[in-house]
Amino acid sequence: MAAETMDAIALLKADHRKVEGLFGDYESAKNPTRKKTIAQEICLELTVHTRIEEDIFYPACKSKIDDNLWHEAYVEHDCAKSVIAEIEGGDPGNEFYDAKVKVLSEMIKHHVNEEEKRAEGMFAQARAAGLDVDALGIQMAREKKQLTAAFKASGLPKPTRLAFVHAKAA
């Protein structure tokens, strides 16, 4: 199924599976150049993924899913963005590089579980609330395509900490 025809949740789950595969590829890689290439792909995929969630999916979920789960998602994104920035600025020859990729992998596994958990996860709650996941999927696929092209051309942006922005606004 093409990304343009996926509903929002199917698109996000496809992203999750892709990144899980990339983390597996990283763990198997021995060559530092290959590790750097895979790590950069992980960082690109996660940066685009977090942006489409924060720009489109999460705002649509506000007040429709458990507030604690919604808040945790933003905080988890903020933490991941910090580690992504360190990986992007690092090199596989650095002492803590592999550890940073491993910690990011573990953070993402937890985050994915929170979103995909049956019945009580974010995705289940969004469906139960009647979100138009088809329309959201179209918007998200369009933004994903644009962001991917822009980030490949000009590099990843500096991370923005949306949980802190939301906290100040409250």
What local confidence, expressed as pLDDT, does residue 169 receive?
52
What are the pLDDT digits (tens) for 15-24?
A: 999 999 999 9
Quote the mean pLDDT of the chain.
92
- pLDDT the model gives residue 5: 75
pTM summary value = 0.91
Angle between helix axes 97-116 and 8-28 (nearest 10 degrees) is: 150
**Number of residues in the chain:** 170
Burial state string for 96-130 with b = 16 or more CB within 10 A and e = fewer than 16: ebeebbebbbebbeebbebbeeeeebbbbbbeeee
Other Cβ atoms closer than 10 A to 156: 19
| pLDDT (0 to 100) of residue 159 | 81
Print burial letters for 32-53: b (CB count within 10 Å at least 16), e (below 16). Answer: eeebbebbeebbbbbbbbbbbb
Give the residue, 82 or 158, on which the prediction is more confident.
82
Burial of 154 (0-12, 13-18, 19+ CB in 10 A): exposed
**Mean pLDDT computed over 128-141:** 97
pLDDT, tens digit, 9 for 90 and up, residues 34-80: 999 999 999 999 999 999 999 999 999 999 999 999 999 999 999 99
* Residue 164 pLDDT greater than 80, yes or no: no
The domains of the chain are located at 3-169
Q: What is the pLDDT of residues 91-127, one digit of tens each?
A: 999 999 999 999 999 999 999 999 999 989 999 999 9
Please state the φ and ψ torsions of residue 50, each to the nearest 5 degrees.
-65, -35
